[in-house]
Structure 1
Amino acid sequence: MPLDRTSPVPLYFQVATKLQQLIEDGDMPVGGRLENEVELADRLGVSRPTMRRAIQYLVERGMLVRKRGVGTQIVHPKVRRPVELSSLYDDLAKSGQEPRTEIRSFELMPAPDHIAEALGVPEGTEVTWLERLRYAGGEPLAIMHNAVPVDLLPLRREDLDGRGLYELLRAAGHVPRMANQVVGARAATSAEARVLGDARGAPLLTMTRTAWDAGGRAVEYGSHIYRASRYSFELTLSS
């Protein structure tokens, strides 16, 4: 695990990033234990405080858990999603996370005020309203709500069983090219926690998005919640 000691990136972060990659690649299997902190620090040639900080960073991200009498255990790789114009289904499939969808609601309805405004259509315009539970590797990850104008893409329930919404939009010639996206956070309600297999009040990441095609027409509105213990948005910043 080579470290760049001349880099401005802190050593603890380099160590944590490399351990995270080993976990995500399966080289450090879920359920396994991390070796002794002191031995690991000696083997990597870093100080014990640096090693401790790297491990704590991964604990805070939900990838490791400290258990008394057991040690530090690998819990699961967290789904990291780059903030770009793509669908969760596509990103999970690309990263080998085995996406699966449970359709909880599928109906045609007049667009409520806030959805009509987001889509730039008259209030009452008919949309397909979807509620889906998205799984990653057999574990519930996100509850997703979407509205798609019926005259843009007539959807069928069975279309969404094994395909992502953006794949269906692309196949119909409505390729999402631009989007406005707002990311936030809140606590899970009892109902949300029950569906996601989490505790009431567990932290959730929220995301609302409106996407447009190259012609400037809104193709979908989405309002999603994600388990913060299993999911994060990833941004690359530059100046």
Structure 2
Amino acid sequence: MPREPAFSERGGAVSGPDIAVDRSSPVPLYFQVAEQFAAAIQRGDLAPGDRLDSELQLADRLGLSRPTVRQAIQHLVDKGLIVRRRGVGTQVVRGEVRRAVELTSLHDDLLRAGQRPSTSVLELATVPCPSAVATALDVPPGSEVWHLRRLRFSDGDPLAVMENWLPADLVRLSLDALQANGLYAILRAGGMRIRGAHQRIGARAASAAEAQMLGERRGAPLLTMTRTAYDDQGRYVEHGAHIYRGTRYSLEVTVAER
């Protein structure tokens, strides 16, 4: 397969990823191009702020039609990896946050991905435990629990809304600590060892309020996750209900044949 170089601009022109187009493949050409650009963004070969060449330049270098290149670019726009800006061109935003399905915190995942996490604490209070949460935490309904709701950002862009409940006698929480650290880091600093969790993953459409918080359109796809974590004594220590932007976040699972 011939490999055709594509280029981007970061201030001046710098080499971008090599794009290999296989015309004999049943995979559409636009998708081949888009997926290779997406992989380059995930690897960091194309960084936030890099500008892609114009449709005409890319079509000429790759030997493809402009409609094919335009479709590839639109696919990347739809995935939230690039944006079109008037007077600037087509520009890389950032890589999608990929999270393995394991017991980690979003704060830690963002740091490992080389992104800058920040948090806005929307709510922090001790409240009577709702019955559904009491069942998850195995505590009496109405017992005192921490209730916190946070908006998590990645490099300044909203990524997730996270709602959590914890037994009130478990740990002391503060706005400052929650703005500076992930919840699991706070629990670990308090001497707690989280050993596992029951987790459920789903998807749904964003409400108007959720869309406004996350910078999405109403009805945009959201990834949902509920989790109940337990410590090394088997005590349930945290129940969470989180939503993530479907354009910026994915979960990865490794499967094996039985």
Q: Do these two structures clear the TM 0.5 threshold for a shared fold by scoring above it?
A: yes
Q: Deviations over 1:20-56 (max 9, x none)?
A: 34213153543512564545546xxx9x9x9999767
Say whether 1:182 aligns with 2:200. yes
**1:56 to 1:192, Cα distance in 2 relative to 1, 3 A:** closer
The 5 A counterparts of 1:85-164 are 85-164=103-182
Q: Which residue of 2 aligns with 1:63?
A: 81
Partner of 1:30: 49
Larger Cα-atom Rg: 2
Match of 1:196 among 214, 218, 240: 214
Q: Quick check: which one's strand share is greater?
A: 2
Q: Which runs of 5+ in 2 are unaligned?
A: 1-17
Return closer, same or farther for 1:73/1:161 CA change in 2, 3 Å cut-off.
closer
- The corresponding residue for 1:215 is 233
Q: Offset of 1:236 from its aligned partner?
A: 2.1
Do the aligned partners of residues 176 and 16 (structure 1) sit closer, same or farther apart at CA in structure 2, a change above 3 Å counting?
A: farther
Are the equivalent residues in 2 in contact too, given 1:187–1:204 (CA < 8 A)?
yes
TM-score (normalizing by structure 1)? 0.81
Number of matched residues? 233
Partners of 1:23 and 1:30 within 8 A in 2? no
Q: Give the alignment's Cα RMSD to 1 decimal.
A: 3.3
For 1:40 and 1:235, the matched residues in 2 are separated by 36
Q: Work out whether residues 63 and 75 of structure 1, in 8 Å CA contact, stay in contact via their aligned partners in 2.
A: yes
Aligned partners of 1:204, 1:126: CA distance in 2, in Å? Answer: 30
Task: Check 1:84–1:53 CA distance in 2 against 1; reply closer, same or farther (3 A cut).
Answer: farther
Cα distance, 1:169–1:28 mapped onto 2, change above 3 Å? closer
Contact map agreement 1:34 1:74 (CA 8 A) in 2 = no
Residues 99 and 2 of structure 1: CA distance in aligned 2, closer, same or farther (over 3 Å): same
Residue 150 of structure 1 aligns with an amino acid whose one-letter code is A
Asked if the contact 1:128–1:148 (Cα under 8 Å) also holds between the matched residues in 2, the reply is yes
The Cα of 1:113 is off from its aligned counterpart by 0.6
Q: Aligned equivalents of 2:157 and 2:45: distance in 1?
A: 17
Structure 2 residue corresponding to 1:172, chosen from 184, 190, 198: 190
Identify which range, 223-232 or 29-38, moves more after superposition: 29-38
Q: Percent identity?
A: 48
Q: What is the deviation of 1:234?
A: 1.7
8 Å Cα contact 2:51/2:89 also seen in 1: no
| Distance of 2:85 and 2:175 partners within structure 1 | 44
State the alpha-carbon separation in 2 of the partners of residues 82 and 175 from structure 1. Answer: 20
Alignment partners' CA distance in 1, 2:79 and 2:41: 13
| Residues in 1 aligned to 2:126 and 2:114: alpha-carbon distance in whole angstroms | 33
- Unaligned 5+ residue runs, structure 1? none
1:37/1:52 contact within 8 Å kept = no
Alpha-carbon spacing, 1:82–1:220, altered in 2? closer, same or farther (3 Å): same
Q: For 2:52, what is the secondary structure of its paired residue?
A: coil
1:106-126 deviations in whole A, cap 9, x for unaligned? 000111011011111111221
**Structure 2 CA distance, aligned partners of 1:11 and 1:237?**
27
What code does the residue aligned with 1:85 have? L
How far 1:78 moved relative to its partner?
Answer: 1.4
